[in-house]
Structure 1
Amino acid sequence: MKTKILVAAHKKFQMPRNQKLYFPILVGAIYNYKQGINYQRDDEGVNISKKNPSYSELTAIYWAWKNLKNIDAIGLVHYRRYFIKRWHFSKIDNVIDEKDVAKLLSKYDVILPKKRHYYIETIYSHYVHSHHKEPLDATRRTIIKLYPSYLSSFDKVMSRRSAHMFNMFIMKRQYFNEYCKWLFDILMDVDNSININDYSKQEKRVFGYLSEVLMDVWIKKNKIVHKDISWKFIGTQHILKKVFFLFLRKFKIGPKQTHF
């Protein structure tokens, strides 16, 4: 099985040494390219690179869907967030390899990160406390219009208290193609129905945020056989800052900030 795991990055950064499996891609390359960055650019071939400020890492997914040929399975991770072999190691050399992927895909159709749990609220309430409400409600209207058979799954996922986040996955090619068709049909319709001109730079990443909660809708509706595995953030996280902004959101103090 020939597999490529895209590593979405907006700048030059340390990458896994396994270049046969890991495929660095510069997202928003139309804006972010600088001399010396030798990653695959997402503004080549059929692309939506110019949408990167609002689609985030989805411009890498779209590029792979339209341009990456003769590959049996396609995945996406982030330059500082990877699927790993063991939870307690954070070194970049601890990322999964071809043998791990092949073993998992011999039993499952999709590999996903272990779920994030939101114990005190639902996925819907968590989203609208973190971001603008209108895009999520517009997404529901679009599903009714384009994919009405998914509405029940959408509503059930929104009422859950856990979700697969971060737009991380590895999928067999058939499922990847089906997922991309469904996802971009929905997001581009929502894109045409809302106005985000007055959103902050952070909140303009709205379609990346929406896609995170849509993943489980697609998984649930299609009864996709999947396996959740460990992931790890490589490097330092600003935990105290995130907790501070979480407090502000819950008590509606100050501007909205992302939780991702």
Structure 2
Amino acid sequence: MAKMKIYCVTNVELKHLEQLNLNLAGVGNKKFKKKYISSLSGKNIQSKERNYSELTFHYWFWKNELKKLDKSLWVGFCQKRRFWLQSKKKIASFKQLQKYILKKPPKKWSDYESIICKPIKIDNPKRMKLLKRGYKNLLKDPSIIYDKKKQNIKLHFDMHHGFGILDKAINHLKKKNERTLFRKFVNENSSFNPHIMFISKKKIIDKWFKSLFSWLFSCEKEFGLKNLNGYDQQRLYAYLAERYLSFWFKKNTKYLEWYWTFFEKKSNS
């Protein structure tokens, strides 16, 4: 029977997470109890956590833990408010999350190399938001306002994380062919697989992290760390990784899009 290990990254200790069958990983400046894996030991990028968010743990895992795991093990990542599910379900309570959270790899996964989140659509932005945040794009091409095909990943990134940032970042990919294909991907697609969540096996995970961090560290030469502020840009490297994940796993693996949910526990849920 195939086995699976899911790591859940959080920046705060949460009791309800401790009641789920997850491997908890703490990132950020707070001290965590032993139940949470720390990203402070070994090779790490803790000093960049402000800008890399959950990727701080992903890097630590890649450099310090991945080599210890069996090559046949399914290894996945989720977040404190986003979880993998067994099937398509609406989760309204913690009891439901406990019942329907993914506990083992389904048999159909044996035909695939990677699992990524079901996509979210980002076309059809609100008119006022498009005018306010996307005015530079509209000046270049006014047809964006009514042509849904042009309301793509690139437009969405320009609107929310800085005009031209994604284009500049793509220029830092080492291979010309990959630059061309990724640029085409963000210009032709109006949905992506969110949250830097994936499930795969050792060999592919190593290739993914090698490609990802090589690119992001190169991007640092352009964007730096200290001057990235506010919700839109502080976590820039996580936002870049989120878009790149959709492209990379689809290009390099036999992938399956899978069910996930947003859930934030309230005192009475």
Give the SS at the match of 1:111. strand
The structure whose RCO (Cα within 8 Å, separation 6+) is larger is 2
Moved more, 9-18 or 45-54: 9-18
- Identify unmatched segments of 5+ residues in structure 2: 125-150
Pair 1:209-2:239 in alignment: yes
Residues 114-170 of structure 1: CA deviation (Å, up to 9, x unaligned): 000122310000011001234312211112xx1222123202221210110110110
TM-score, normalized by length of structure 1? Answer: 0.80
Give the SS at the match of 2:107. helix
Cross-structure match for 2:83 = 82
- Identify unmatched segments of 5+ residues in structure 1: 238-260
Moved more, 189-198 or 205-214: 189-198
Cross-structure match for 1:129 = 159
The answer (yes or no) to whether the contact 1:157–1:216 under 8 Å persists in 2 is no
Counterpart residue identity of residue 178, structure 1: K
The answer (yes or no) to whether the contact 1:135–1:206 under 8 Å persists in 2 is no
Equivalent position to 2:36, from 35, 39, 49:
39
Cross-structure match for 2:216 = 187
Cross-structure match for 1:65 = 62
The answer (yes or no) to whether the contact 2:8–2:77 under 8 Å persists in 1 is yes
The answer (yes or no) to whether the contact 1:138–1:194 under 8 Å persists in 2 is no
Pair 1:169-2:166 in alignment: no
Residues 88-121 of structure 1: CA deviation (Å, up to 9, x unaligned): 23433121012xx152431211111100012231
Q: Distance in 2 between matches of 1:103 and 1:54?
A: 37
How far apart are residue 16 of structure 1 and its match?
Answer: 5.8
Counterpart residue identity of residue 52, structure 2: Y
How far apart are residue 32 of structure 1 and its match?
Answer: 2.0
Equivalent position to 2:175, from 108, 123, 147:
147
The answer (yes or no) to whether the contact 1:27–1:60 under 8 Å persists in 2 is yes
Kindly name which structure, 1 or 2, has the bigger radius of gyration based on alpha carbons: 2
Pair 1:24-2:53 in alignment: no
How far apart are residue 236 of structure 1 and its match?
Answer: 6.7
Moved more, 171-180 or 36-45: 36-45
Counterpart residue identity of residue 51, structure 1: K
Equivalent position to 1:50, from 43, 47, 50:
47
The answer (yes or no) to whether the contact 2:228–2:236 under 8 Å persists in 1 is no
RMSD in angstroms over aligned alpha carbons? 2.0
Alignment coverage as a number of residue pairs: 227
How far apart are residue 17 of structure 1 and its match?
Answer: 3.8
Give the SS at the match of 1:133. coil
Q: Distance in 2 between matches of 1:45 and 1:104?
A: 36
Residues 148/220 of structure 1: CA separation in 2 closer, same or farther (3 Å cut): farther
Counterpart residue identity of residue 40, structure 2: D
Residues 23-44 of structure 1: CA deviation (Å, up to 9, x unaligned): 100013xx1225x463001112
Cross-structure match for 2:132 = none
Counterpart residue identity of residue 38, structure 1: K
Residues 210/10 of structure 1: CA separation in 2 closer, same or farther (3 Å cut): same
